[in-house]
Structure 1
Amino acid sequence: MITGSIVAIVTPMTESGEVDHVSFGELVERQVTSGTSAIVSVGTTGESSTLSVSEHTEIIRRTIEVVAGRVPVIAGTGANSTSEAIHLTRAALAAGADGALLVTPYYNKPPQEGLYRHFRAVAEAVDIPQYLYNVPGRTGCDMLPSTVARLSEIPNIVGLKEAAGDLDRVRELVALELADFALYSGDDSTACASMLAGFHGNISVTANVAPEAMARMCAAALEGDAEAASEIDANLVGLHSALFAEPNPIPVKWALAEMGLMPGGIRLPLVELDEWHHEDVRAALRSASLLA
């Protein structure tokens, strides 16, 4: 089981919107050498929704190439069409990914039985470890713990990224005591509390800019050292908030560009961070000692 800080890595782009593979390789290397436990490639933070299928699979391959076996690579392969999710997951397996992260189908709002059959169909079609991803604030669809419990019985469905940001939901999932099933926070602001409550790690946006601190915070929380984990997290609270001043990944891409780690490109319909938020993000970076 993968534990600790898992980064949902951005996909750097030039100002004209082309994927910047050189900067991407440098960002991946920075994560590996900073203690990040695994990398989610082309998830929501990686702008999967604006990438072509060929770009999608190429970025997965590039991630695997740079990582060179040092940490697991989990590919984002979710879609609101079951056949498309199967296609993307097969492509991730062919590229050499260690696992696939599949978001609940967005926009079409399937009921719980539809969610169960969707994820079961992908799992039966592609023999790769698969992680469910529940983020109702973005998809308009909430996968309930009872459905997670049903899906956990499928052998290659091995975990869940829960991003509702609700600690009651966290406690409900922990109480299920699902055997050999990983529970990850997908909400940086509640990740520390979630791990102290029994989650196994955090799939993080904040780790893009503060990988070392997030790795230390997750390690302390998983060891049950609430004081140390909370102290580290306190220095990151501003980032957890500022990086969601506008829809992800707008703020985090701007922050990484401000740090000089990549160019500032982003694809429509997303746009660059509004100037109104610039100083707030800079202040959060300074508070975390990431910007002079």
Structure 2
Amino acid sequence: MRGVWTAIITPFDQHGNLELSTFKALLKNQKEAKATGVITCGTTGEAATLSETEKKTLIQIALEELEGSQTKVMAGTGTNNTAETLELSKWAFQQGVHGLLLVTPYYNKPTQTGLEKHFLNIADKVNCEIMLYNVPGRTAVSLTAETIIKLAGHPNITSLKEASGNLAFLSEIKNQLILANKKLDLLSGDDALFLPSLAVGTTGVVSVASNLFPRRMTAIQKAFEAGNHQKAKELHQFYYPLFRDLFIETNPAPIKFALSYAGWCKNILRLPLVTISLTSQKKLIQSLKMCKIKSNARAAL
């Protein structure tokens, strides 16, 4: 798994229902930008408040809209219930997704043994590429480097979205993979650490910001891999105010506000999430203007 994977939002209408016409427009933008892929039904897609039927609808539409393009579809099928995760993962694989994003089970706080068994249960029964998703700030549990190395031995477990925000931990994983002679693609789960993480061996990013500017995010990686580190650094610094402020409050509230400002979607979330405060809105608008994001422009960036 390489490149820029957009953690795509789920747009809602004024009644709180899926707004599929907007979802299709967002997918078209990703396709035209030649983003590596989109991830549906993840954290940024408000998976926690989507029904199973809604998740399936979003996955199917993404597959239909991106069919024949170079932009792949990954489905967020992870839950804190192994049996439910397995059933949704089987279904998504049958529909033709490129991969599965499996978050570490949340709330029930499994041990490392429990985490290992959870992921292997899916990997053994679904012959599809799996991206592990480590995000301890949301799940109250973190995969250890040792557990990650064990899981990397499975042929279907091919990548890890590392969203702890800890570059030292990312370096530790990379070091242990080298020592164990195992391969696992590591992707940053934090836009602000995208460029720094490339320097320690990641192969891409699962990005929130690329909902707004997928071409620019791809340009950062292309510049870095071409050895043009100065250009990569300049792009990173230019967009850093947004990398920072898209997490000014709980994701995805800031990116939904930003996309609404830019004319892409309505600023509507499902409870218990709410729109960002007026103070945060003012700060985010300032950063959007600094990064040349125009109001209601639907710019292809």
TM-score bucket of the superposed structures, by smaller chain = over 0.9
Q: Does 2:164 match 1:161?
A: no
Aligned counterparts of 1:160 and 1:223: Cα–Cα separation in 2: 24
Question: 1:239: how far off?
Answer: 0.6
Question: Whole-Å Cα distance in 1 between the matches of residues 203 and 60 of structure 2?
Answer: 27
1:202-254 per-residue CA deviation (whole Å, 9 max, x = no partner) reads: 00011111211111012222334322211101011111111111110011011
Separation in 1, partners of 2:117, 2:223: 37
Which residue in the other structure is 1:188 paired with? 191
Q: 2:76 aligns to what?
A: 76
TM-score, structure 2 as length reference: 0.94
Q: Which residue of 1 aligns with 2:294?
A: 291
Tell me if 1:236 matches 2:239.
Answer: yes
Identify the residue that residue 283 of structure 2 maps to in structure 1: 280
Corresponding residue SS for 2:206? strand
Residue 139 of structure 2 corresponds to which residue in structure 1? 139
Give the 5 Å matches for 1:191-206.
191-206=194-209
- 1:17 equivalent to 2:20? Answer no
How far apart in 1 are the matches of 2:109 and 2:203?
A: 28
Deviations 1:129-150 (A, max 9, x none): 1110000011111101111110
Q: Partners of 2:226 and 2:161 in 1: how far apart?
A: 20
* Aligned mates of 1:167, 1:215 — CA distance in 2: 21
Aligned twin of 2:111: 111
Moved more, 101-110 or 261-270: 261-270
Distance 1:199 1:173 in 2: 11
1:180, distance to aligned residue in structure 2 (A): 4.0
* Pair 1:253-2:256 in alignment: yes
Q: Provide the C-alpha distance between the structure 2 equivalents of 1:107 and 1:218, rounded to a whole number of angstroms.
A: 35
Q: Percent identity?
A: 36
Per-residue deviation, residues 77-121 of structure 1 (Å, max 9, x unmatched): 111111111111112112221110000000111111111000000
Unaligned runs of 5+ in 2: 296-301
User: What residue in structure 1 maps to residue 39 of structure 2?
Assistant: 40
Q: Residues 156 and 191 from structure 1, CA distance in 2 versus in 1: closer, same or farther, beyond 3 angstroms? A: same
Please list every run of 5 or more consecutive structure 1 residues that lacks an aligned counterpart in the other structure: none
Q: Secondary structure at the match of 2:26?
A: helix
Structural mapping, 1:217-232, within 5 Å: 217-232=220-235
* Backbone CA RMSD of aligned residues: 1.2
Separation in 2, partners of 1:263, 1:65: 23
Match of 1:77, as an amino acid? T
Contact 1:77 1:85 in 2 (8 A): yes
Give 4+ residue runs of structure 1 displaced > 4 Å after superposition: none
The answer to whether the 8 A contact 2:76-2:100 is kept is: yes
The structural deviation recorded for 1:4 is 1.5
TM-score w.r.t. length of structure 1: 0.96
Segment of structure 1 superposing worse, 281-290 or 220-229: 220-229
Alignment size in residue pairs:
291
